[in-house]
Amino acid sequence: MFTKQTLLAFIGALALAAAKTTTEKTPTQAEIDAARATVLPYSPVSNVKGLVFDRFVNIWLENTDFETAALDENLSKLAKEGILLTNYFAITHPSEPNYCASAGGDTFGMDSDDFLQIPANVSTIADLFDIKHIAWGEYQEDMLLPQHMFITPNMTNDSHDTNVTVAGDWVARFLPPLLKNEHFNRDSLVLLTFDETGNYSHPNRIFSFLVGGAIPEHLKGTTDDTFYTHYSIIASLSANWGLPSLGRWDCGANLLEMVAEKTGYVNWKVDASNAYVNQTYPGPLSTKNYSSKWAVPAIKGKCSAGHGIAQVVKQTYHGLQPTYDYTSPVPYDATSGNNIGIKYHRTLKHGKTETGVTGQTSDSQMPI
C-alpha cells in the first residue's frame, strides 16, 4: 500500500495498533474520520529484488518477557524451524513508542499509549520504501501481498488482554499454513517478535525468531546472539533493498546477521549484561519529560545499511547538528542517563578492532 502522506498512514496506524491502557486517550470517531480523510491509499504490487529476501513480514505480539514466551510450546516449536534471536531488545515502555520506533527510527520521547500525530516532515520507513516503489501494507486482525507487511493480532490474540498461551495458539493457527504456501513463503523472511516485556523493571529483551523460505537450510534450528533492537529491522530492510537510512537510531543499528553477511557489514558485539533499554528519553511526545525540541537526525556520514541517508532527511534538516550519536548500536540519552556506559566492540575483516561506550565519544566510531 502506498499513501500520499505515508507518515500519518504508517505511524498513525501503528499508534492505533498499540496497546490500550488506562493512560490512552481514545480518539473520537470524528478524529478517526479526519485522519482517514488525509490519506489516499491504493494497492499496487511491486517486485524489487532484495539481497537476502524479497518479502518481509513483521508479526508483533505484546507485553511478554523472553523467559515466559520461550516456555510456550507453540512459539518454541516454530522458533526451531528458523533462527531464534536470543539478544533482541525492545526500545522502551509502554507499547506505543515501540511501534513508533519500528517505523520512525526514534520514539521522539513518547512515553504513553495516547493517540498522537507526528509532523509530516518527520520521515519514516514508508518514505524509504517509496524511493524504490516498494509496496507495503499493515494488517490488523478484525480491521478492514505487498513486499513489506506489518501484522498485529487483536488485543486478545496478541496476549495483551490474555496471556502468551492464547497468543501462541493464535500463532500456531495463523502462521504455519502461510509457511506451507509456496507463493507466500518463497523468498520471504518472517520476524515474529513482541513489542516489549511484561515486567518494566527487567531488561527489555523479547522473544523473537525468524522463519520463512529466505532462510537457508543450514541455519534452520539455530540461534543468533547478536544484539538487535526494533531499529535493526529498519536498518536491515534498508540494506536488503538498497535504501538509505532515516539518519536516526536505525543508522548505527546492527543488521540481521543474514543481511550483514551478504553486504559485508560487521555487526557490533554489545555487552548486554548492563543493558536494560526500558526507558524513554525526553522529547516532544513525552508526558513525563516533555521537551519542545524534536530530535535532529544525522544528515551525513556512514550508516550500517550502507546507502547513506535519505535525501528528504538531508533537505529537511540541512545545516543542523544531530541531537545524538546515531552511529551507536545502542540508543542512549546522556541527559537522562538512559543506557549510558554500555560497551561494544567489533573486529573488522582486515583485523582492526573498534570499540565504543554509550555516552562517550570514541575515535573508533563511524563519523556522523
Report, as residue numbers or ranges, the catalytic residues.
Answer: 161
Crossing angle for the helix pair 230-241 and 96-104, to the nearest 10 degrees: 20
Crossing angle for the helix pair 96-104 and 6-17, to the nearest 10 degrees: 150
Backbone angles phi, psi at 238, to 5 degrees: -65, -45
- Residue pointed to by grid coordinates 533499554: 277
Q: Checking phi first, is residue 247 left (phi over 0); if not, alpha (psi -120 to 50) or beta?
A: left
Among 133, 333, 89, 59, smallest CA distance to 231 is for 89
The span from the CA of 91 to the CA of 334, in Å, is: 16
The span from the CA of 121 to the CA of 297, in Å, is: 12
The span from the CA of 18 to the CA of 71, in Å, is: 24
Judge contact between 161 and 173, C-beta under 8 A: no
DSSP 202: S
